Structure 1
Amino acid sequence: MAELNNTDPVVREAYQLSHDSIAYVTGRAAGPAPSAATLALRHAGDELLEKFPIFFKRWPRVFSGVTDDNACDLLVQIIDENIKGHWDRQRRQPGYPPDLPWSSVLSIYVLAGQMATYCQENGLENVLQQLPERLGGYVEEHICPVLRKKDGWVGFTERFSKKEETERKVLRVCSAVLAACSVLLLTHFLWRRMSAL
């Protein structure tokens, strides 16, 4: 957990996301999310599981040979293949600046969460101690340099934070308009009454 004390806020948040996401999916998170980015990650991960459960059913087969000794290496290998594939596709499209979509960053943490869940369910508790640091280290080395150019984790938080429901927004606006109209009518009524005296 030494990297949580890192002076670089982008790196510190990467490790905080790693530790919190693993703790959250394994039911070990104590209290509310420690930052806006971790809250956004919790929300986005839950939403993915709810909307696309079929996507998550394949991971137990992929993780079937996992042991205490190879779990972290397998996770990094899978993440690395996906990220390198993304960079390769970008290189084939000249004229575009290299970028990493927030969905790719999200997928790194969601995949690590799936690995953690698998390990917890299969008695590989030791992995849960190593996984957050290895994940944080990977993100620090391969993702944080890109994030520094994107203003850190701000975009991630904006993209994946829980959005206020449309009905609530409309209700709030209507309530505000109704309140404003009521105040105007009351003011007009009182003004006319004072004028009549």
Structure 2
Amino acid sequence: MEVLRRSSVFAAEVLDVFDRSLTEKELVSQSKALCRDYILSRLHQNGLGWSKAELHLSPSKAALADVSLVLLCLGDELECIHPSLYRNVARQLSISVAMENVVPDAFIGVATEIFSTGVTWGKVVSMYAVAGALAVDCVRQGHPTTVHILVDSLGQFVRKFLVPWLKRRGGWAEITKCVLKKDVAPEQRWLSSVIESLKYFLTTLYVYVMKEP
């Protein structure tokens, strides 16, 4: 019995060490850094040049830089398939970016709906695309400080809903497996499913976000 007890304790300790290999704090910090990268890319694409300093972006580690590149590539493809979904998102949601508290609430509402039926990498990319589009709306309309609030909101969402999922996959590095050089059909399938879902989300979300508690 004592041997069994010691064995169980040892197993629990091993699992605990494994679980700590990627901490919640690290995953949230990485998620926010990736969001800043994504937003910076989208701002530059739209001629809204910001420096990394303005986004308080610390230099990414090599591994995270690779993940950021893949995330941006997948985002490019997602946005190219149906660009209207990721342009003028604030207008589609009927919200004013002048109200700082409304933008993060709307983003959290969209993210919650996106993941309401489960988590996939395709949905994760979609969440970043929405964040990037909202950041463009904020800067274009003269409210750049809201971008920082948006990044923090994404971090809060990841902490609350996505950290366990990311841990089970060993962190962000797994997203690099979504890039297929020869057969892109699987990637196109998840992109298509995300687009169909997001069409519904953007047409119905304003009522969901702004309804009385």
Q: Above 0.5 in TM-score?
A: yes
| Unaligned segments of structure 2, at least 5 residues | 1-22, 45-49, 184-213
Corresponding residue of 1:36: 66
Bigger radius of gyration: 1
Q: Deviations over 1:34-71 (max 9, x none)?
A: 31111111112222222322333562432432222311
Q: Give yes or no for contact 1:63–1:115 (8 Å, CA) kept in 2.
A: no
**C-alpha root-mean-square deviation of aligned residues, in Å?**
2.7
| Unaligned segments of structure 1, at least 5 residues | 1-5, 88-99, 167-197
Normalised by the length of structure 2, the TM-score is 0.59
Q: Give yes or no for contact 1:18–1:133 (8 Å, CA) kept in 2.
A: no
Corresponding residue of 1:95: none
Distance 1:81 1:138, change over 3 A: same
Corresponding residue of 2:190: none
The alignment-based identity, stated in percent, is 23
Distance 1:75 1:164, change over 3 A: same
Normalised by the length of structure 1, the TM-score is 0.63
Whether 2:86 is the aligned partner of 1:69: answer no
Instruction: Give the distance between the partners of 1:63 and 1:55, measured in 2 at CA.
Output: 11
- Out of 139, 142, 164, the residue aligned to residue 120 of structure 1 is 139
Structure 1, 63-72 or 22-31: larger mean CA deviation: 22-31
Residue-pair matches, total? 145
1:137 CA drift (Å):
1.8
* Residue type of the alignment partner of 2:86: F
Distance 1:123 1:58, change over 3 A: closer
Distance 1:114 1:165, change over 3 A: same
Q: Deviations over 1:68-96 (max 9, x none)?
A: 23111111112112212x14xxxxxxxxx
